[in-house]
Amino acid sequence: MEILALKTFKMIVDEGGIKGAADKLHTVQSNITNRIKKLENELDTRLFTLAGRKLQLTPSGQQLYQYADELLQLEYQAKAAILRNKGSYELRIGMPETFASVHMPLALKQLKQDHPNIQTKIYTDTSDRLVLAVLDNKVDCAAIGNAPKHDKLVIIPIVKEELVRVTPKESDYDPVLLVREEGCGYRNHALLWRQKASRGSDELMTMSSADGVLGCISAGLGYTIIGKNMVVGSRYEKSLTMTPVTHGPKHIQLSIVYRKGSPLEAGTLALADIFTSRQESD
């Protein structure tokens, strides 16, 4: 079996179909189909069946998926270990957009000064999707809020951030809770707050960025529950009022997560140490 065939097979499953796999692998759908046909011929078994218009794994496909995951993990480890041993390597770091703008810049600057052999590459996404990216080796580590327990993940707490209720400073506001898209850690806390505070009748409005959320609040369109550091230093800070939350969790725990056995663990730990050292000094 070729590595490319296994990557293609796993990508079809992860992306929910041939089109999604073709987009992710930057190729045409016919190439995806031909690779799977070749793999099925080699194994003399069907890997997928059609259920309506959706592909479903056969029992053989389910078995192969587990092996493909393990083999691709070994391939990643081998490549990363060789690059690390050459002395200079790339560390792919995932994080939400808000973390990238507030918490990460100074840490990356210090990492570059202390470890010039590490070149960082940044990917932004929601916390939920970043967990999957770490498990699939799309990033080497990720900084996320409320990291879930997982037998394949190592979790290092780095920042404990105060949650605040944000409202306009000098105007009334609509009973609308403004949040980010699904998968955002702040969104999850905001929804929990709404439940605990018996504000379930408040309308929910989803925005694409934290900056957009704060801008709408400054205009009197609603309120939000978010990390204090998202507001402090923002262009809307002077037009907003922050109040510590009185319902649900008072803080959000931000952590760095990476896959157990990562050959780039030393680089990830160096980044985590920068954050933990700063927390201790504060």
CATH code for the domain in which residue 137 is found: 3.40.190.10
The answer on 257 and 152 residing in a single domain is yes
Residue 156 confidence (pLDDT) above 80: yes
Token pair in block for residue 22: 């073709």
Token pair in block for residue 29: 């759908």
The number of domains in the chain is 3
What are 156's strand-pairing partners? Answer: 256
The answer on 209 and 131 residing in a single domain is no
From 82, 103, 118, the end of a domain falls on 82
pLDDT at 282: 60
Per-residue pLDDT reduced to its tens digit, 87-106: 788 899 999 888 888 889 89
What's the rounded Cα separation, in Å, for the pair 98 and 125?
A: 10
DSSP 70-134: HHHHHHHHHHHHHHHHTT-EEEEEEE-HHHHHHTHHHHHHHHHHH-TTEEEEEEE--HHHHHHHH
**Mean pLDDT within 128-144:** 91
Residue 127 confidence (pLDDT) above 80: yes
From 17, 47, 82, the end of a domain falls on 82
Please state, as a whole number, how many other Cβ atoms lie within 10 Å of the Cβ of residue 17.
Answer: 16
pLDDT at 170: 81
pLDDT at 195: 94
Residue 83 confidence (pLDDT) above 90: no
From 33, 51, 82, the end of a domain falls on 82
The answer on 194 and 137 residing in a single domain is no
The answer on 190 and 66 residing in a single domain is no
The answer on 269 and 140 residing in a single domain is yes
CA 143 to chain centre: 7
Residue 80 confidence (pLDDT) above 90: no
The answer on 192 and 64 residing in a single domain is no
**Mean pLDDT within 210-233:** 93
Length of the chain: 282
Residue 15 confidence (pLDDT) above 90: no
Rounded mean pLDDT of the chain? 90
Amino acid at the residue 108: L
The answer on 259 and 140 residing in a single domain is yes
The answer on 111 and 176 residing in a single domain is no
pLDDT at 100: 86
The answer on 173 and 203 residing in a single domain is yes
The answer on 51 and 77 residing in a single domain is yes
Top mean pLDDT of 76-80, 133-137, 189-193 is at 189-193
Domain span holding position 139? 87-158+252-281
Phi, psi of 264 (to 5 degrees): -105, 25
Cα dihedral 39→77→129→47 (10° resolution): 10
